Structure 1
Amino acid sequence: MSMAKWKEREKQQRKNDIIDAARKLFAEKNFDEVSMDEIAKKVGLGKGTLYLYFKNKESLYFAVVSRGTRIWAEMVKKEVEKGNNGLEKLKLYVNANKEFSNEYPDYFRLLYSPSLIKKQFDMEKMTSSQEFQEVRELFKEIMLIGIDSIQKGVDEGKIRSDVDPTEAAILLSVIYNGKVNMGDWAKELLENKGMDEHKFTSDIGDFFLHMLMKK
């Protein structure tokens, strides 16, 4: 391996280490409670070194979110490709969302957190971030897979013809957003009914499919 390639590999590994450290802290705390100093200490680097890789905390936050979104997108694509028709693809789409939220709960929480913490961000820094733009594009890509699956189901007569595919896909996203950000009172009600988070996530998918399918 040439010296240039070795240095590039080392640089990428350090960047990954920074993202790993930031992921753990952002998953444990709110955005405004995490500092670049804290992230630097966790990864064993000087604060100044972090700014060689990420221009600000917003950029680093969305680098973490971007990694999670890429994992999510790959899971969705891989599952949906197994379907032979629109309804099957939609079921696999819903299942992939469920599996992602169960397997990567910290990423899932971070993906839906910006809706709550956007007031804490410097909006100019956030929207100008390359990582933020990547997250937006990936998220739209995931949504389009859902929309396309629903449209196929409508065209094939398996899903109600009065269902708007875009509206339905957005509704599913809103439902998951609500699940992540639901209050302690809701969690307590579910626990009192003996429902854990995995059961509730599974039921969300079942309810959603039931609303769309023809009787």
Structure 2
Amino acid sequence: MSLAKWKEREREQRQNDIIDAARKLLIDRDFDEVSMDEIAREVGLGKSTLYLYFKNKESLYFAIVLRGIRIWDKMIKEGVEKGNTGLEKFIAYGNANREFSTKYPDYFRLLYSPTSIKKQFDMDKMNSSEEFQEVRGLFKEIMSVGIDSIQKGIEDGEIRQDIDPVEAAILLSVIFNGKVNMGDWAKEMLENRGINEEKFNSDIGDLFLHMLKK
């Protein structure tokens, strides 16, 4: 292996170590509660070295989110490809969303952060972050897959003609957001009725399909 390739691999590994360390600290805490000093200590680096890999905390945060949304995007696209009709594709879309939230709950919570992004982050720094821009692009791709599935379902005659595909896809995203940020009181009410997370996820899908189908 050439020296240049060895250095590139070492840099990628160090970058991944930083992302892993930051993810552990950020998953259960608000963005402003975790400092770059703390992240540097967690990964065993000096703070100045940390800035050689990420120019600010916003870029590091969205590098974590980017890793998760790439997984999500891949799962969505692979799942939807298995469907033939628009309705089948949309069902696969919903199933892939649930699978991602179950298999990667930490990434899912970071993507649907409970605190407003505008309150958490310096917007100028966010907009200048390459990671943030890629996250936005992939999020739009994921939404487009759902929108296209609904539109195809309308054209196939399986989904109601009066449904707006964009509105429906955004509504589903809002439902997922609400589920992630659901209060303990709501979870307790569901548990008292014998409704666990798996059943609740299934019921959300059934109710949503009931709204869409002719």
With normalisation by structure 1, the TM-score equals 0.96
Match of 2:47 in 1: 47
Match of 1:192 in 2: 192
Do the aligned residues in 2 keep the contact of 1:160 with 1:213 (CA within 8 Å)?
Answer: yes
- Provide the C-alpha distance between the structure 2 equivalents of 1:114 and 1:59, rounded to a whole number of angstroms: 19
Match of 1:205 in 2: 205
Match of 1:75 in 2: 75
Shift of 1:175: 0.6
Amino acid in structure 2 at the alignment position of 1:17: D
Do the aligned residues in 2 keep the contact of 1:98 with 1:205 (CA within 8 Å)?
Answer: no
- Provide the C-alpha distance between the structure 1 equivalents of 2:16 and 2:79, rounded to a whole number of angstroms: 27
Matched, 1:26 2:22: no
Match of 1:176 in 2: 176
Shift of 1:43: 1.2
User: After superposition, where does 1:158-169 map in structure 2 within 5 Å?
Assistant: 158-169=158-169
Determine what percentage of the aligned residue pairs are the same residue: 76
With normalisation by structure 2, the TM-score equals 0.96
Q: Which runs of 5+ in 2 are unaligned?
A: none
Deviations 1:131-167 (A, max 9, x none): 1111100000000000000000000000011111111
Count matched residues.
214
User: After superposition, where does 1:13-162 map in structure 2 within 5 Å?
Assistant: 13-113=13-113, 116-162=116-162
Do the aligned residues in 2 keep the contact of 1:72 with 1:97 (CA within 8 Å)?
Answer: yes
State the secondary structure of the residue aligned to 1:198: helix
Amino acid in structure 2 at the alignment position of 1:85: T
Do the aligned residues in 1 keep the contact of 2:114 with 2:181 (CA within 8 Å)?
Answer: no
Do the aligned residues in 2 keep the contact of 1:31 with 1:117 (CA within 8 Å)?
Answer: no
User: After superposition, where does 1:1-16 map in structure 2 within 5 Å?
Assistant: 1-16=1-16
Amino acid in structure 1 at the alignment position of 2:137: E
Q: Which runs of 5+ in 1 are unaligned?
A: none
